[in-house]
Chain A
Amino acid sequence: MSEIAIEVKNVKVVYKLNQKFSIQRNLIRRDAEKAKVYEAVKDVSFSLKKGEILGVTGKNGSGKSTLLRALAGVFRPNEGTIDLHGNSISLLSLGIGFNDNLTGRENIYLSGMLLGFTEAEIEAKENAIIEFAELGEFIDRQVKTYSSGMYSKLAFAITSNLETDIILIDEVLSVGDEHFQRKSLARMEELIRDDNRTVVLVSHNIETLERLCTQVMWMNDGIVMEHGDTEEVLEHYREFMS
Chain B
Amino acid sequence: MRFFKEIRKYWGFAKYAANCDLKAEVANSYLNWLWWVLEPLATMIIYTLVFGIAFNSQEEYFPIFIIIGIMMWDFFNRLVMSSVDMIRGNQHIISRVYMPKYVLVIQRMLVLAFKMMINFGLVVIMLMIYRVHINFNILFIIPILIVFFMFCFGFCLLIMHFGVYVSDLTKALNIVLNFVYFLTGIFYNVGTSFPQPFGYLLQRVNPIAYFLFCMRKAVLYGETPSVIMLFVWFVISLGICVLGLRVIYKNENDYVKMV
Contact = CB atoms under 8 A, between A and B. Distances in A.
B258 A102 contact: no
Interface residues of A, number: 34
A110 B256 contact: no
B12 A118 contact: yes
A96 B16 CA distance: 20
Contact of B166 (A20, A96, A113, A142): A20
Contact of A23 (B24, B97, B166): B166
Interface in A152-199: none
Q: Is the contact region of chain B dominated by helix, strand, or loop, or is it mixed? A: helix
Contacts, number: 80
A72 B257 contact: no
A112 B98 CA distance: 13
A96 B97 contact: no
A109 B92 contact: no
Contacts of B167: 20-22
Interface stretch (A73-81, A203-211, A213-221): A73-81
**Most A Cβ at <10 Å: residue of B12, B23, B165, B257:** B257
B39 interface: no
Interface residues of B, number: 28
A91 B97 contact: yes
A90 interface: yes
Nearest to A40: B257
Nearest to B165: A20
Interface in B1-46: 12-13, 16-17, 20, 23-24, 27
Contacts of A22: 166-168
Nearest to A118: B12
B134 interface: no
B254 interface: yes
B20 A16 contact: no
Interface in B152-180: 165-169, 172
Interface string B61-96: 000000000000000000000000000000111111
Contacts of A110: 13, 16-17, 20, 93
Interface of A: 15-16, 19-24, 69, 72-76, 90-91, 93, 96-102, 106, 109-111, 113-115, 118-119, 142
Interface of B: 12-13, 16-17, 20, 23-24, 27, 91-99, 165-169, 172, 253-254, 256-258
